[in-house]
Amino acid sequence: MTIAAMLSPAEVLTQVAAALPDEVRPNVVIIGSLAAAYHFFAADSDRAIRTKDVDCLFSPHSKAVAAAAVVTDRLIRANWTLREGPDWSVPGTKESRDEDLPMVRLRPPGTGASPWFLELLSAPPQYEPGGSAKKQRRIETSAGHFAICSFDYLALAEWQPIELPLQIRIARPEMMALANLLHHPVISDTLIAGTNYKRANKDLGRVLALAYLTTLRDRRSGEDELSEWPSRMWLALQEKFGGQARQLAANAGAGLAELLGSAADLDQALRIASLGLLASLDVSPEAFVATGARFMAEVIDELAALPAGDTPRPPLPAQQR
Amino acid sequence: MIGRDSNEDGLVSMHWQNPAGPDVLTEIRRTSTVRDVREAMLALAYAIEASARPASGLCIVLNSRLSMDRLDEELTRFRAIVKPGVAEHIHLAAATSGPVMAVKGSFPTQEPGFMAALHAAVQREMAPSAAGRFTRQQVKALLVERWLWGLPALSLADTRRQTGASYATVAAALDELRQLHLLGDEREGPIVIRDLRPPLLLKLADEHGSARKLVRFVDPTGLAKLPSAMATRLESLRGRGEAGQVAVGGVLGAVHHFEDLNITAAPRLDLSVFDGDMTFVRQLDAGLMEVPKGRTNTKVTLAVHLQRDCRPPELRKSDAAVAAYLDCLADLLEVGLQADAEEFAYALCEKARLSA
């Protein structure tokens, strides 16, 4: 895995927001590590992260294709360039098969090569149990044909995203965590392209990183944000997945439990998290294990218990400082 | 049906009401002295005589150094001197702990319901927190705690009832208090503690603390909740029925007892656990990890003290969430807050003196 440069989340997000056309900004939700880093580190200029991609989700699904086409055209006109490499640098044509189309991955203009690129994604359509979790749609731009894809559980990123002063929105950390949890009910052997790292270890390690950062913030602010996660997750599951919500809530922790039971996978998950969201922190393996145990008890167990009562438990009393 | 039955002649650990025959009164003793065994069998004989229903008596001796042959001999001798009609209803057995608990000897019945109840009762008695039940220290702690609260003095018999200790243990505890000049020479009547001064109270608290089993927990993330927040969480668990017999001690307990105490911020949460059940710790904070024995230089987040409850029974219901004065004081000493402990001891002694 190539180690990416350290980035300031506030600077990158400001650049992205400025590049987006005004009319599509209401349809954009930034997700992934940059969104999380902005949420946790925007006020702290000493904190930086490593990431190569900035994930830009267009929502709702019905407007995603049109908005993505507008953005692609506008950015290419503004000298953003297609990400180099055989898979990404050549747009498709109307004759290209859908599965052969490249994703939209654009690097910002500048004198040197930007360390990051913008990737466009679509909010998923209405959830249908048993269908393919990943869906791809064609977009036509002045530069050629591309594809944007969607994943079922990214619907959670659309749930009450956080409005930023930059006039774009970022996904809530707990919703990104839940999407990752649901996406990996087991630790599969699927590797991240070009690495020996398991995709599940990266995504589930991200969940623990988000939990760690939330706890860190809670302790500093005296709040108990983490305790609010289960009830919000349950509301979002009901809103986005209807009748499937109970089953999803009950099984949300399966993959993470498997990760916590495998020293090798957990070690890899921490290594990946330490190269990304936790890059400016020194989180020990013991701390990562403890964070996992805490997350299972305070979030996963609580989430699994919520459907039985069908109403969220009241939050814990405010912590005394 | 099972219950704990006390009468004027002593304590019976378990009263099993037999729907199809004589009840079984069981007395469980952790002892290696013949005198205690004889006393327990005598107490059972009186209890059988006093029982409204036909009853048998069973004395269980826990982890005793007395051999089974020796116990059989004692039972035979005891039966020989007790009147017929009672003698044959007295039984004696030994229980040993280990990977598999073993109970062997003479039993009034092998009925499965009774044997299951008996195993459960023995298991409870063998729990780590129960280890101090019959010690002199426990007796002294109860008497001192009562004095600190300004409660009426107990007789020797009442003391035995409240602690479950044998006569010999109570007598030995009283001797130790006499040697500290806390009791007079009188051998009858209520046990009245004389004026207890802070230095001696600190010494007693230190001894009391040493008799407890300490289990320490750390937070490897460095992100543990503050002790006060954990105490709030514990109260919430208690409300949901997810925390057993546990009380908050340490700095938080001391400040609860004396609001005006000029005491430092709590460096950790101290809990006194009376039933040996620490499963609530995961609910309290699953990120905490137990410190291996012997490891020092560790910043402890949670200290659990497995022990018998030395709070007077009449106070346990009204303030169940807070540990005894003596436990809070012992916790302060254990943490190393000597100056705070001295101030707390002074406040306790002053309060007791004024209420005397």
- The residue out of B180, B207, B234 marking a domain boundary is B207
B220: nearest CB among A290, A317, A321: A290
Chain A hits for B286, Cβ within 8 Å? 293-294, 296-298
- Give pTM, 2 decimals: 0.75
- The residue out of A133, A157, A181 marking a domain boundary is A157
Q: Do A319 and B225 touch (CB under 8 A)?
A: yes
Q: Do B221 and A290 touch (CB under 8 A)?
A: yes
Q: Is B214 in the same domain as B347? A: yes
Position A105: which residue type?
A: R
B228: nearest CB among A216, A298, A320: A320
Measured CA to CA in angstroms, residue A2 lies from A52, A196, A263, B123 at distances of: 10, 12, 24, 58
Q: Is A15 in the same domain as A99? A: yes
User: For residue A269, is it within any domain?
Assistant: yes
pLDDT > 60? residue B184 = yes
Nearest residue of chain B to residue A285 (CA atoms) = B220
Instruction: Report the pLDDT value the prediction gives residue A239, as an integer from 0 to 100.
Output: 95
Instruction: Report the pLDDT value the prediction gives residue B7, as an integer from 0 to 100.
Output: 38
Number of Cβ within a 10 Å radius of residue A46: 7
Instruction: Report the pLDDT value the prediction gives residue A166, as an integer from 0 to 100.
Output: 87
pLDDT in tens, B299-311: 999 999 999 889 9
* B20–A contact, CB cutoff 8 A: no
pLDDT in tens, A42-92: 877 677 777 778 999 999 999 999 999 999 999 999 989 888 776 667 889
Any residues with CB less than 8 A from the CB of B51 and at least 6 apart, and which?
A: B23, B25
Helices B34-50 and B68-81: angle between axes, nearest 10 degrees: 40
Q: Do B286 and A293 touch (CB under 8 A)?
A: yes
User: For residue B105, is it within any domain?
Assistant: yes
Q: Which two tokens stand for residue A174?
A: 């707990």
Q: Is B343 in the same domain as B222? A: yes
Band of the pLDDT at B265, cuts 50, 70, 90? confident
Q: Is B198 in the same domain as B221? A: no
* Interface with chain A: mutation pick from B217, B223, B284, highest number of A CBs within 10 Å: B223
Q: Is B168 in the same domain as B220? A: no
Chain A hits for B283, Cβ within 8 Å? 297
Instruction: Report the pLDDT value the prediction gives residue B302, as an integer from 0 to 100.
Output: 97
Tokens 């979790």 belong to residue: A133
A172: left (phi over 0), alpha (psi -120 to 50) or beta: beta
* B223–A contact, CB cutoff 8 A: yes
Indicate the number of domains in chain A.
2
Nearest residue of chain B to residue A315 (CA atoms) = B236
Q: How far is B129 from chain A (nearest CA, A)?
A: 26
Average pLDDT over every residue of A312-318: 42
* Interface with chain B: mutation pick from A221, A227, A294, highest number of B CBs within 10 Å: A294
pLDDT in tens, B145-166: 999 999 998 888 888 878 878 7
* B233–A contact, CB cutoff 8 A: yes
Q: Mean pLDDT score of chain A, rounded to an integer?
A: 89
Chain B hits for A319, Cβ within 8 Å? 225-226, 228-229, 232
Q: Is A236 in the same domain as A140? A: no
pLDDT > 60? residue B237 = yes
Q: Do B287 and A293 touch (CB under 8 A)?
A: yes
pLDDT in tens, B15-60: 888 888 889 998 888 777 788 788 889 888 888 888 888 999 999 9
- The residue out of B126, B160, B182 marking a domain boundary is B126
Listed range (A7-16, A162-171, A182-191, A298-307) with the worst mean pLDDT: A7-16
Q: Do B286 and A296 touch (CB under 8 A)?
A: yes
Nearest residue of chain B to residue A301 (CA atoms) = B283
Average pLDDT over every residue of B241-246: 86
Position B27: which residue type?
A: E
CATH of the domain at A88: 3.30.460.10
Q: Do B220 and A294 touch (CB under 8 A)?
A: no
Q: Is B221 in the same domain as B202? A: no
What is the domain extent for residue A121?
6-157
ipTM score of the complex? 0.78
pLDDT > 60? residue A318 = no
Average pLDDT over every residue of A143-160: 95
Instruction: Report the pLDDT value the prediction gives residue A43, as an integer from 0 to 100.
Output: 75
Indicate the number of domains in chain B.
3
User: For residue B131, is it within any domain?
Assistant: no
Q: What is the Cα–Cα distance from B143 to B138, expressed in whole angstroms?
A: 9
DSSP code of A320? P
Q: Do B286 and A297 touch (CB under 8 A)?
A: yes
What is the domain extent for residue B182?
136-207
* B232–A contact, CB cutoff 8 A: yes
Average pLDDT over every residue of A235-239: 96
Chain A hits for B233, Cβ within 8 Å? 316
Nearest residue of chain A to residue B240 (CA atoms) = A313
- The residue out of A106, A125, A157 marking a domain boundary is A157
Under 8 Å CB pairs connecting chains A and B tally to: 51
CB distance A136 to A148 below 8 Å: yes
Band of the pLDDT at A310, cuts 50, 70, 90? low
Q: Is A116 in the same domain as A189? A: no
Instruction: Report the pLDDT value the prediction gives residue B2, as an integer from 0 to 100.
Output: 44
User: For residue A245, is it within any domain?
Assistant: yes
Q: Is A203 in the same domain as A266? A: yes
Q: Is A11 in the same domain as A145? A: yes
Average pLDDT over every residue of B229-254: 91
A79: left (phi over 0), alpha (psi -120 to 50) or beta: left
